[in-house]
Amino acid sequence: MDNDFLKMLRERRSVRSFKSEQISDDELNAVLEAGTYAPTGMNYQDPWIVAVQNPDLVQRLSRMNAAVMNTDSDPYYGAPTIVLVFASRPEKWPNGMADGSLVLGNMMNAAHAIGLGSCWINREREMFDTDEGRELLRQFGLPDSLMGVGALALGYPAAPARPARPRKDNYYRVVR
């Protein structure tokens, strides 16, 4: 079975090199809206999405993320937009991490569908568990009790995507 959507899913790849040009507001809004349509447990809509395009704040987030890895490289690969996803901690809502992950997945697929590149970035939980991270949450107008789920580096790809690696044998099972 094949259709355009399934083909798109097979072709989407993580992008780790971005042009410096900022994406358009229409493109950003399309990606963000796609995130809001991700399924969430009991339709609780727990995740919170914050798109950051301010260059100084992008650099600050890059520094914070790199510090978690004890490096000075840019974990966001020079992307001009960083999209952060937060959710309630498990003691408040046990599906927060799963719900936020689905939001990130929807946004990655939407980005690819409109010609943008994205890459899921980890370590936001550690970043926003710090005093600096909790202060940023407050600046974003969010409760400082949220946890970071992940982020997207988002922008125009600087190079064409590589083809997909072959899928591993026996990746899935069908039990009847």
Q: Using the predicted structure, report yes or no on whether residue 2 has a pLDDT greater than 90.
A: no
Question: Taking a C-beta distance cutoff of 8 angstroms, is the pair 46, 93 a contact?
Answer: yes
Percent of the chain with pLDDT over 70: 100
How far is Cα 52 from Cα 169, in angstroms, rounded to an integer?
39
Q: What is the pLDDT of residue 17?
A: 97
The candidate with the shortest Cα–Cα distance to 107, out of 41, 14, 3, is 14
User: What pTM was computed for the model?
Assistant: 0.96
The arithmetic mean of pLDDT across residues 41-61, rounded, is 98
* CATH code, 16-155: 3.40.109.10
Confidence (pLDDT) at 1:
85
Confidence of residue 70 (pLDDT cuts 50, 70, 90): very high
Supply the mean pLDDT for the chain.
97
Angle (deg, nearest 10), helices 4-11 and 96-113: 100
- Rounded Cα gap, residues 66 and 48, in angstroms: 23
- The confidence score (pLDDT) of residue 91 equals 97
Position 32 pLDDT exceeds 90: yes
pLDDT at 172: 96
Q: Select the more confidently predicted residue: 94 or 162.
A: 94
Pairing label, strands 81-87, 147-155: antiparallel
* 142 has a pLDDT exceeding 90: yes
